[in-house]
Amino acid sequence: MATGPLLWLLHGPNLNMLGQREPEVYGSQTLESINAQSVLLAQSLGLRLECFQSNHEGELVDRIQQALNQNVEGFVINPAGFTHTSVALRDALAAVALPFVEVHLSNIHRREPFRSHSYFSDKAEAVVCGMGPLGYESAIRFFHKHLLKPTTPSR
């Protein structure tokens, strides 16, 4: 069992439909595939990564709040449609005060005007958008290199 720092990868609404939903916008890769690749990458970096998706705002809020009791170091989060609407998720992230990287498969700034506003970006350590599934890899690598607390070697 891996013993490295624990990150949570959180996915918002409709991301369970990846591979079927608007592949011209979101690509053809499934969420299961993205999660599997993300877990393998995290393991190769000495991290533990747990993935969670919900179409329900309250379930995501509950999950974020649970991080404080689970020794979670931070989040990679794709809030999906909640990006533009959810003060509740923003408040949950602020309440737990753990670092997070915001990810979007598409470039939200090249889409409908309402999609260019994020309730999360000003609180995020970094924002990755428009890179498709590669955005998750970039976020995990950034987290590993820049956001994890240095560990003191055991003697």
pTM of the model: 0.89
Q: Where are the domains of the chain?
A: 9-147
Q: pLDDT digits over 62-100, tens only?
A: 999 999 999 999 999 999 999 989 999 999 999 999 999
Among residues 11, 56, 84, 104, the one annotated as catalytic is 104
Sorting pLDDT into bands at 50, 70 and 90, what band is 125? very high
Domain 9-147 CATH (choose: 3.50.50.60, 3.30.470.10, 3.40.50.9100, 3.30.2320.50) = 3.40.50.9100
Is 26 known to be catalytic? yes
Among residues 26, 119, 136, 144, the one annotated as catalytic is 26
Average per-residue pLDDT for the chain: 90
Spatial contact of 49 and 40, defined as CB atoms under 8 Å apart:
no
Q: In what order do the strands lie in the sheet with 100-104?
A: 48-53, 6-11, 72-78, 100-104, 126-129
